[in-house]
Structure 1
Amino acid sequence: MIAKARAFVEVRMSRMPNMALAHAMRRADCSNSGLASRVRQIAIEDGVSLSCTHVDVKRWLDGVRPRHATARFIAEALSRKAGVTFTLDDIGLAGVVTPETLEATLAHGGGISDAGSRLLALTRRDLADDPVALQSVVVPDAWGESLISWLLARPEPLQIRQNARPSVGKWDVHAIRATTELFANMGFQFGGGHARSALIQYYNREVVPMLGGKFTEPVGRALYAAAAEITELVAWTAYDLGRHGLAQRYFLQGLRLAQASGDRMMGGLLLADMSHQANYLGRYDQAIQLARAAQEGCKGVATATPMALFYAMEARAHAGNGDEAACVRALNEAEKHFSRRDADNDPSWVSYFDAAELASEGAHCYRDLKKPSQALEFVGQAVDLCDPMYVRTLAFDRLVQAASYVHMNEPSQAATVALEAINLAGPLKSERYLRYIRDLKADLLGRECEEQVAAFNALVADRYPSLNS
């Protein structure tokens, strides 16, 4: 028997209109009356009779929350109308964010609409500074599952939606790429924390909705590739701020977008990024696997520079593992590929990986292997060749140089170089940068009697009080 119930029961009043619901209704091209009718029908299918009208819909849009069951009917109604999946989070009717809903962003499978829904939900939590999202942890198994899925993937048909919104053209794709370049350059100069909220706002409001839009197949492929590229940047900014679980989830969804676009090199880049993150977190074996997956999946497809990058990531992971022989082999492969590079044939996103960047990777390798002479040789090349625009990279290189002087038992020289690095960095918003400082501070413990070391400690105490504990 069909149960009787009111469609609308006010649970609590919100101070703000439900913009997410309004956006979802526009995307589904659904009016207030149309949504009310569809909700009533879906409720009947569920054995419930709801007296739902356009008035109820207006109240939901104004910020009044329906019962949880009714919210599910709303999400289902909009999903059917639009032909894409809307979650409760997508329509602004989720309750407390739960770890279970967050973990959906670890998934690599499903259609491209699933990836869009995951990203929309994730960016909303990101923008709201939701601690569950910001403090989420890395799930190592997700790396292995994603690299296997990507390696075994086959070309997939592009779903064309004739009645979808918004309508996307090639100029929209150009705009995404130009915006990505702008924010990437700011990251190089000021760190991942600089203007990140503006980047996420743009990504959430402009880029993600396009994934479910209307476009031709060529535009759709280009759109997914451009979306993968800006997703990679969003992930990097989270990584640079030390929000590792959040970064991993963006990287994984970016890989799904790259797969849908058919851009194998972009997929390889995202795997290399995940290798970099795994290495940073001390998961060296997984970092090796991710870098090798990038190499294998891009053989015969990638130009020389991305391949050099992929081998450099493998070398970094071997160095972290203390395997000098394997590190040298991978670094040699990186140099061989790099020697054959033709920048004119490279994708634009790899332009940063120049001779200075390759030398910087070598310096990091030998620092981790505690081979200071070799590390200093590579650092010298990296600093001499580096474009001054790359402030973050130069600061990293200088701090690698400082660590190498510690390994040579020259604490005063190490502190002198570190002071230069700090003055160079300025207001750099990067947790990775702070880790270099923190590690060097620990390396110089017991050397406080040295004048330069004391000056370094004093500057760190003044500039970065969070590192004093």
Structure 2
Amino acid sequence: MQRSEQPARTANQELAQLIEAAGMSHHALARRINLLAERSGIAFSYTHTSVANWTRRGMVPRPPVPAFIAQALAERLGRPLDPAEIGMPEIRENPEAVGLDFHRDAHEAVHTATRFWSTMRRRTFVTAPFAIGAYSTPVTRWLAVPADPTAAHPGRHRVGRRDLDALWAAAADAQRSDSKYGGGTGKASTVTSFLNERAIPLLRGDYTDAVGKELYAGTAELARVAGWSALDMGHHALAQRHFIQALRMARAGASLAVGCHVLTNMALQATLRGYPDEPVDMAQGAYDRARHRAAPRVLAFAKLVEARAHARLGDAPSAAAALVSSERLLEQADAEPGDEPAWIRYYTPARMAADAVEIHRDLGLPAAALRWNNRAAPMPESAYTRSVGLRMTVLATAHLQNRDLDQALAHGQRAVTILSHVRSTRATDYLAGVVRAMAPWRRDPRVIDLSHLAHQAIALSTTGTAR
């Protein structure tokens, strides 16, 4: 994974000698580098300590900083310099690694995030593979140090309340659209455009510590929604990068609640990708790190995702324990709402029950799955179109485990009808799962008809004809 600086090597004598020849102090050089970066639209806050690290420890900052260092020295020396002459040969970055870094330094982190968001439309990120190992460093660093010391930043344009409200509103609007129509809607592309066109300039702006913390938290939530939309369309490598940068922004904003939610989303993605072992640790870590700071509903969702991972592992006792914890926390949240964030209100008893059906289906316990479904209140299809459709597919497969083809067909047909109106690769995968589970009855005319309708719905969603 590409890091902000190469590992320490021997002292950079070339750079030290050029600084001395130019007659520049470390303070002056750092200030000039920051100014050159700002003129290029990049925000850095290098200090004399940074310069000392480059000269004495031989650390090499990420491009384009070596070019800025060379330019600053060239101005004083009156002759051109290139990075190789200052002991910093050009580092060629693997484009597939962009967006996977989780820097310790907040300013480097912002640079990485903004560089990723400005280039994320590259096909590279859509076709790159999902790598569970890429989550190791981000998770470890967030769990160890979930907050940066300060979020204040100097800049030209002052960031205010209206800017922050616009960030939160854009994230909420995109989340509602994703729940209703899937990740392939126009709102999904709007949120990525908002990150590039609105969030990046704000991150480079001027703000206090308090404003900065909310700015970073809002940007993290926006990136999380963008990641979930990408996941829903099957673009898991792109989603992974959004989640990593969202987690880093949550740390910059000192928001344990947002960080817990992002990390829980990462765990759910890994579970859906077929890696259920690591998500248990991720969900448990998210819960433990935020348990004294996050709202009960946020913690309840972390326990739900832990239960889902245990179910994929076939560990029924652990899944049951996590699900009970989630239910109790959700009851607490409903009884005493308190000051909970708006972005977690989608996690309701109906949502928990729907996931509980899937958990018990995954455990091969169809009777328990159907009991959970009987406990669940119906979700409004108008607001949760995709969620209701997914629930129908899970119910269909649970009935198939129970050898009840008639009920499976009824729920499968409803799922096809509902999911024909969303654009979601995840939804089409669930529909395809229903068809596969009906293989023992594949000669039944009703199964043949449902299979035909399901494939039509999948084709509509894939080609973008679905609403």
The aligned residue for residue 416 of structure 2 is 422
AA at the equivalent of 1:355 = P
> Of 397, 401, 406, which aligns to 1:407?
401
- For 1:384-430, what per-residue CA distance to the aligned partner results, in whole angstroms no more than 9, with x for missing partners? 24564111110111111001011111234312211111111233111
The aligned residue for residue 123 of structure 1 is 117
The aligned residue for residue 171 of structure 1 is 162
> Of 226, 244, 256, which aligns to 2:218?
226
Q: Write out aligned runs for 1:181-220 (5 A).
A: 181-195=172-186, 196-220=188-212
Identity %: 24
Q: Does 1:298 align with 2:328?
A: no
Q: Distance in 2 between matches of 1:373 and 1:323?
A: 17
Is the 8 Å Cα contact of residues 343 and 351 (structure 1) preserved in structure 2? no
- How far off its partner does 1:304 sit? 1.4
287-296 or 439-448, larger mean C-alpha shift: 439-448
The aligned residue for residue 54 of structure 1 is none
The aligned residue for residue 309 of structure 2 is 317
The aligned residue for residue 150 of structure 2 is 158
Is the 8 Å Cα contact of residues 432 and 454 (structure 2) preserved in structure 1? no
Q: Distance in 2 between matches of 1:271 and 1:420?
A: 33
- For 1:135-182, what per-residue CA distance to the aligned partner results, in whole angstroms no more than 9, with x for missing partners? 1222222323222211210643325343x1332112100111011111
459-468 or 273-282, larger mean C-alpha shift: 459-468
The aligned residue for residue 276 of structure 1 is 268
Q: Distance in 2 between matches of 1:259 and 1:206?
A: 20
Is the 8 Å Cα contact of residues 379 and 397 (structure 1) preserved in structure 2? no
Q: Distance in 2 between matches of 1:132 and 1:47?
A: 41
Is the 8 Å Cα contact of residues 379 and 400 (structure 1) preserved in structure 2? no
AA at the equivalent of 1:407 = Q
Runs ≥4 residues deviating over 6 A: 21-24, 45-48
- How far off its partner does 1:233 sit? 0.4
Is the 8 Å Cα contact of residues 303 and 325 (structure 2) preserved in structure 1? yes
Q: Distance in 2 between matches of 1:280 and 1:375?
A: 19
Is the 8 Å Cα contact of residues 357 and 386 (structure 1) preserved in structure 2? no
Structure 1 SS opposite 2:443 = coil
Structure 1 residues 257 and 428, CA, compared in 2 at 3 Å: closer, same or farther?
A: same
AA at the equivalent of 1:254 = A
Q: Write out aligned runs for 1:257-276 (5 A).
A: 257-276=249-268
Structure 1 residues 48 and 137, CA, compared in 2 at 3 Å: closer, same or farther?
A: farther
TM-score relative to the length of structure 1? 0.78
- For 1:272-328, what per-residue CA distance to the aligned partner results, in whole angstroms no more than 9, with x for missing partners? 101101110111110101100011101211221111111111110010000111111
AA at the equivalent of 1:457 = S
Q: Write out aligned runs for 1:44-443 (5 A).
A: 44=74, 49=79, 100-127=94-121, 130-153=122-145, 155-158=147-150, 160-162=152-154, 164-195=155-186, 196-341=188-333, 342-382=336-376, 384-386=378-380, 388-443=382-437
Give the unaligned 5+ runs of structure 1: 1-20, 29-37, 52-68, 77-87, 89-93
Q: Distance in 2 between matches of 1:24 and 1:240?
A: 38
User: What is the aligned-residue RMSD (CA, Å)?
Assistant: 3.2
- How far off its partner does 1:49 sit? 4.5
- How far off its partner does 1:248 sit? 1.0
Structure 2 SS opposite 1:160 = coil
- How far off its partner does 1:188 sit? 0.7
- How far off its partner does 1:113 sit? 2.7
> Of 454, 457, 463, which aligns to 1:463?
457
Structure 1 residues 435 and 24, CA, compared in 2 at 3 Å: closer, same or farther?
A: farther
Structure 1 residues 126 and 266, CA, compared in 2 at 3 Å: closer, same or farther?
A: same
Q: Distance in 1 between matches of 2:236 and 2:146?
A: 29
Structure 1 residues 376 and 48, CA, compared in 2 at 3 Å: closer, same or farther?
A: farther
Q: Distance in 2 between matches of 1:154 and 1:391?
A: 35
Structure 1 residues 23 and 214, CA, compared in 2 at 3 Å: closer, same or farther?
A: closer
Structure 1 SS opposite 2:223 = helix
Matched residue pairs, number?
400
Q: Distance in 2 between matches of 1:146 and 1:455?
A: 47
Q: Distance in 1 between matches of 2:158 and 2:196?
A: 17
Structure 2 SS opposite 1:239 = helix
- How far off its partner does 1:47 sit? 9.5
Q: Distance in 1 between matches of 2:76 and 2:389?
A: 60
- How far off its partner does 1:40 sit? 8.6
- For 1:79-99, what per-residue CA distance to the aligned partner results, in whole angstroms no more than 9, with x for missing partners? xxxxxxxxx9xxxxx99xx6x
